[in-house]
Amino acid sequence: MAGRFLGLFKPLARFLPEAKPPRRRVGFNQKILWTALALIIYLIMAEIPLYGLQAGESGFELSYLRVIFASNRGTLLELGIGPIVTAGLILQLLAGSGMIGADMSNPEDRGLFTTASKFFAILLTGVQAFAYIVGGVYGSLPVATSIVIFIQLLFAGVVIILLDEMIQKGWGIGSGISLFIMAGVAQKIVLDSFNPFPGPGTFKSAGAFPALLQTITAGQPIFSSVLEYVPANATSGTPAHFIPAVENAFIRAGDLPSLLGFFTTIAVFLIVIYVEGVRVELPVSHAGYRGYRGRYPIKLLYVSNLPVIFASALFANVYFFSQILWVNLNPQNMNPFLNLLGTYSSGGGQPQPTGGLVYYVIAPRNILDVALNPVRALIFAALMVAFCIIFSLTWLEVGGLGPSTVARQLVDSGMHIPGYRRSARPVEMVLKRYIPAVTILGGLIVGLIAAFADFFGVFGTGMGVLLSVGIIYQYYQQLMQERVAEMYPAFRRLFGG
């Protein structure tokens, strides 16, 4: 039976837009085609500017957070997958805290949970679009223009939700959210590496390798340890910071991509690939087939990279709403209560966080900034790790990955652990020795990687690279399963197809 809360969404299921599941099995080549089509639609939407906006009215920069949420400033994908992730975050917290009843082993509850997620995703798309317009993100707009922009953002949000649902229901491979994140991170890495256009505050190219070529041609040093301290400027609101005394290609001022970031990107890729392969393997045997023995793997990243996505969603919403409140209610940083949430510099260009909670949920994107303000870096790392662990533990039950659920699934499939009775209770006791500990350790590791990678200016952001490696690994496994199931149909039941 569905819980009281989820039961409220039963009448809404027939009215919400829906991507219908395929009536027959979709072949491997067709899945590739539908997945590519969804990606092409996403990329086209990411390049279509919002109709009605003028130059300079393109919204909040959101810096590196846009990479995680597959959004693009001033386009139809202004909101990206943010509402979908935030909706999932809200329902996860409600289900994990026991405030709503949801039995994910029950098909009815699972279907209503999906309906509730879709409803909240559409609702949050409208709320965020309304907040962008009313909050003055696009400046002062006529009522008619505001309505047009609101409709565009809401329509684009629904399209993204349906594309994700279409892929997950069997038309494509993986999930739309993963696909769009990977595409956004790949674009960011290419731009950080090869962007030939000048970056902000410099005449050199924004891309690391064109800047390296310009540095060599100009006879300037590639490596330089000479730094110059620039004090804070109260008039412009610019905080104190370090810059290289002689601009070089290894460490660059601000958020400009550098060789240090490139080498760190490679290192993070290798570390995450290694961590993805670390696992604990429990011996299991089949009760119906004497002599059949196997191993049940418990990965170190047991709940994958979902905690990083949820932590990013939380931090992004703190940034978003704090800046909305600052623009409208506290532009002079005079309200002590709103200052606790966030203060910003009022200089030219995009407002920059200077204090409050928002200051500590935005990672320093340069090793020079970390050296200047190590306290901020440590607090950000602590917050990232703490929330990754919290979301990892919460997802155990919400995602059906807890020891009791896994034990029941193993026993129902005829498996048991040699030396123990053939029932769920002893299997659950063995799994409890490993799964909670691995979950906490995995959350700790992904939090540390995501935080410290950003400190060194990783291309595509630390969270983006971490998510991309996990997504690529999952796509590799799914592609291999799809190919094997296509060639040997008898294996389809084994893969759950």
The answer to whether residues 466 and 458 touch, using CB atoms and an 8 Å cutoff, is no
Q: What is the enclosing helix (H) or strand (E) of 344? A: strand 343-344
Rounded distance, CA 371 to CA 109, Å? 50
What is the enclosing helix (H) or strand (E) of 355? strand 353-355
**Angle of helix 107-134 relative to helix 306-329, nearest 10 degrees?**
30
**Which residues fall within 8 angstroms of residue 107, CB to CB, at 6 or more apart?**
none
Burial class (CB in 10 A: 0-12, 13-18, 19+), 144: exposed
Beta bridge partners of 244: 227
Could you tell me which of 445, 254, 227, 355 has the C-alpha nearest to residue 453? 445
Buried b (16+ CB within 10 A) or exposed e, 414-448: ebbbeeeeeebebbbebbeeebbebbbbbbebbbe
Q: How far apart are CA 431 and CA 417, in angstroms?
A: 10
| Per-residue tokens: 126 | 């409208």
How many alpha carbons lie under 13 Å from residue 168 in its C-beta half-sphere? 13
Give all domains of the chain, ordered by start, each with its CATH number. 1-194 (1.10.3370.10), 208-256 (no CATH), 257-497 (1.10.3370.10)
Parallel, antiparallel, or unpaired: how do β-strands 415-416 and 279-286 relate? antiparallel
Radius of gyration over every alpha carbon of the chain, rounded to an integer in angstroms: 24
Per-residue pLDDT of the chain (497 residues; tens, 9 = 90+): 445 777 788 888 888 888 888 888 888 888 889 999 999 999 999 989 999 887 555 555 555 677 778 888 889 998 988 899 888 878 877 776 667 776 666 777 777 888 888 999 999 999 989 988 887 778 778 899 999 999 999 999 999 999 999 998 889 888 888 889 888 888 889 988 998 888 776 778 888 899 888 888 877 777 755 556 667 665 555 666 655 555 567 877 667 888 888 999 999 999 988 888 888 888 888 766 665 677 888 888 888 777 887 888 788 888 888 888 888 888 888 899 999 999 988 665 567 888 899 999 988 877 878 888 889 999 999 999 999 999 888 888 776 788 888 888 888 777 777 777 777 788 888 888 889 999 999 999 999 998 899 898 898 888 888 888 888 887 887 777 777 666 656 545 544 55
Alpha carbons 6 and 12: distance in angstroms, whole number: 11
With 0-12 / 13-18 / 19 or more C-beta atoms within 10 angstroms meaning exposed / middle / buried, residue 478 is middle
How far is the C-alpha of 26 from the C-alpha of 30, rounded, in Å?
6
